[in-house]
């Protein structure tokens, strides 16, 4: 699943969108103290109050927002799970019986709360429906409308949301002209910040892929491993943060842990070029040969493909492992690199890294930054010292 496919699905989640149809919605309330289902409610989505529909649509869209391998993880179902969630979800997706769908989703909730200690009351929301996407590229000269070339994709979306108590407040009653203490005790469901969830099935080459599911994490680079393994019965996912650490360890293994800034800048530029020149829908990946080529082109000496291959074997025990190019470098055009010192923290983009140097001045280590303009602090222009 690539970012374009995720964006297409997310874009459909609008009220009255003719490319999206939501059939049923199921809400399950789970108590923190007992980790048991306290209440559940299932109904056709079209019968839900419009104000509630807007809140749910916002929640679903928020769940599907984020970068792949940071907040969104496409994971493959395990092949040898005893009671595979894959089968449960597929049956829930294709059944025309609302009661059967409800019972299947409640079974999934039982897996969520098994051996799990909740920190707050939790609401699990399931919705099933279908979205549409073109079966082929649109021909503007054709007489057929674009909708005639659409194909329906059924799906199930799950959103897990925690609750919080309402804050104590003082209210003013206009009718009675008096101040009143707010005594509402009903908890607030935090639909604007979903904890986690999933979208089934995933998409491969613009087609539904029932062998994969898109897991959605509420926090970047913090997927719930227990949920992925025990609830979804899916294989372990690797975050972008973890892949960057793997890349760094491989580079240290073959070239050491000390780099001059120009070499490091060249490494980032070479990988960025790989990403930019990619014409495939799938994100480009780097095997040991690609890493050797990038490092050699960046000025690292005495390097061979065999040496990098051994580093892959040493660090991750898989010489054929492929790293996602977009995961191993900071975002190239934003100030994604943080240089932290005791005196200050400097933010800089990888494309501007070449303008930064660590120098020795009068026996002290200093950071020197090349600039084109005068530095202004609180309205005062600094004078330029000649070293």
pLDDT tens-digit map of 307-338: 999 999 999 999 999 999 999 999 998 999 99
pLDDT tens across 24-50, in order?
999 999 999 999 999 999 999 999 999
Q: Is the pLDDT of residue 228 over 90?
A: yes
pLDDT, tens digit, 9 for 90 and up, residues 260-271: 889 999 999 999
pLDDT value for 112 = 94
Contact assessment for residue 179 and residue 191, using Cβ atoms and an 8 Å cutoff: no
Work out the pLDDT band at 139, boundaries 50, 70, 90.
very low
Q: Which string of DSSP letters, residue by residue, matches 57-121?
A: HHHHHHHT-S-BTTTEEEEEBPTT-SS-HHHHHHHHHH---HHHHHHHHHHHHHHHHTT---SS-
pLDDT over 90 percentage in the chain: 75
Burial of 349 (0-12, 13-18, 19+ CB in 10 A): middle
> How confident is the model at residue 143, as a pLDDT?
41
| pLDDT at res. 77 | 95
Q: How big is the CA angle at 163 (ends 221 and 102), to the nearest 5 degrees?
A: 90
Q: What is the mean pLDDT of residues 133-151?
A: 55
Q: Going by C-beta distance under 8 Å and a sequence separation of 6 or more, which residues neighbour residue 114?
A: 230
Q: How much is the pLDDT for 149?
A: 67
**168: pLDDT strictly greater than 90:** no
Q: Which element (helix H / strand E) includes 90?
A: helix 85-94
Q: Give the distance, in angstroms, between the CA of residue 381 and the centroid of all CA atoms in the same chain.
A: 42
Q: What is the pLDDT of residue 259?
A: 86
Give me the pLDDT at residue 102, please: 97
Terminal CA-CA length for the chain: 54
The mean-pLDDT minimum among 241-245, 266-270, 280-284 falls in 280-284
**Lowest mean per-residue pLDDT among 20-24, 142-146, 208-212, 245-249:** 142-146
Q: Mean of the pLDDT values across residues 175-191?
A: 83
Q: Could you tell me the residue ranges of all domains in the chain?
A: 3-236, 241-328, 337-381
Banded model confidence at residue 142, pLDDT cuts 50, 70, 90: very low
At residue 136, the pLDDT reads 54
- Provide the pLDDT for residue 135: 64
Angle at 346 between CA 345 and CA 350, to 5 degrees: 140
Give residue 145's pLDDT.
46
pTM: 0.85
Residue 69: the pLDDT is 93
- pLDDT of 214: 97
25-29, 50-54, 114-118: the lowest-pLDDT one? 114-118
CA-CA distance, 98 to 104, in Å (whole number)?
10
Alpha helix (H) ranges present in 130-221?
none
Return the number of other C-beta atoms located less than 10 Å from residue 222's C-beta: 13
Of residues 81 and 99, which shows the higher confidence score?
99
Residue 138 is predicted with a pLDDT of 47
What band does 2 get if pLDDT is binned at 50, 70 and 90? confident
Q: Is residue 1 scored above 90 in pLDDT?
A: no
What value does the mean pLDDT of the chain take? 90
20 Cα distance to chain centroid: 22
Q: 333-380, pLDDT tens digit by residue?
A: 899 999 999 999 999 999 999 999 999 999 999 999 999 999 999 999
In the predicted model, what is the mean pLDDT of residues 158-173? 87
């Amino acid at each position: 699943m690539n970012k374009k496919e995720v964006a297409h699905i997310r874009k459909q989640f609008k009220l009255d969108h003719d490319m999206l149809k939501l059939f049923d919605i199921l809400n399950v309330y789970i108590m923190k103290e007992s980790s048991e289902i306290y209440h559940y409610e299932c109904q056709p989505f079209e019968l839900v109050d419009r104000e509630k529909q807007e809140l749910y649509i916002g929640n679903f869209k928020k769940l599907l927002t984020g970068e792949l391998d940071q907040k969104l993880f496409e994971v493959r179902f395990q092949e040898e799970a005893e009671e595979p969630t894959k089968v449960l979800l597929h049956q829930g997706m294709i059944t025309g019986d609302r009661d059967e769908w409800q019972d299947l989703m409640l079974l999934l909730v039982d897996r969520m709360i098994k051996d799990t200690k909740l920190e707050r009351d939790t609401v699990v929301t399931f919705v099933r429906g279908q979205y549409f996407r073109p079966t082929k590229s649109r021909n503007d000269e054709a007489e057929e409308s674009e909708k005639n070339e659409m194909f329906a994709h059924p799906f199930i979306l799950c959103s897990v949301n925690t609750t919080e108590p309402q804050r104590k407040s003082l209210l003013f009653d206009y009718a009675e002209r008096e101040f009143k203490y707010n005594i509402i005790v009903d908890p607030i469901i935090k639909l604007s910040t979903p904890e986690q969830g999933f979208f089934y099935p995933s998409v491969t080459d613009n087609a539904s892929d029932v062998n994969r599911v898109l897991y959605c994490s509420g926090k970047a680079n913090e997927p719930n491993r227990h949920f992925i393994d025990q609830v979804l019965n899916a294989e372990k996912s690797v975050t972008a943060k973890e892949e960057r650490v793997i890349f760094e360890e491989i580079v240290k293994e073959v070239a050491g842990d000390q780099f001059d800034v120009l070499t490091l800048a060249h490494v980032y530029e070479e990988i960025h070029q790989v990403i930019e020149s990619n014409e495939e829908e799938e994100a480009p990946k780097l095997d040991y040969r690609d890493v050797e080529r990038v490092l050699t082109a960046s000025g690292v000496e005495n390097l061979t493909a065999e040496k990098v291959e051994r580093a892959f074997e040493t660090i991750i025990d898989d010489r054929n492992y492929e790293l996602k190019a977009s995961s191993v470098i900071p975002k190239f055009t934003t100030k994604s690199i943080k240089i932290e010192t005791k005196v200050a923290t400097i933010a800089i983009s990888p494309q501007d890294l070449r303008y930064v140097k660590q120098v020795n001045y009068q026996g002290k280590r200093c950071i020197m930054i090349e600039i084109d303009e005068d530095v202004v602090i609180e309205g005062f222009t600094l004078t330029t010292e000649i070293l």
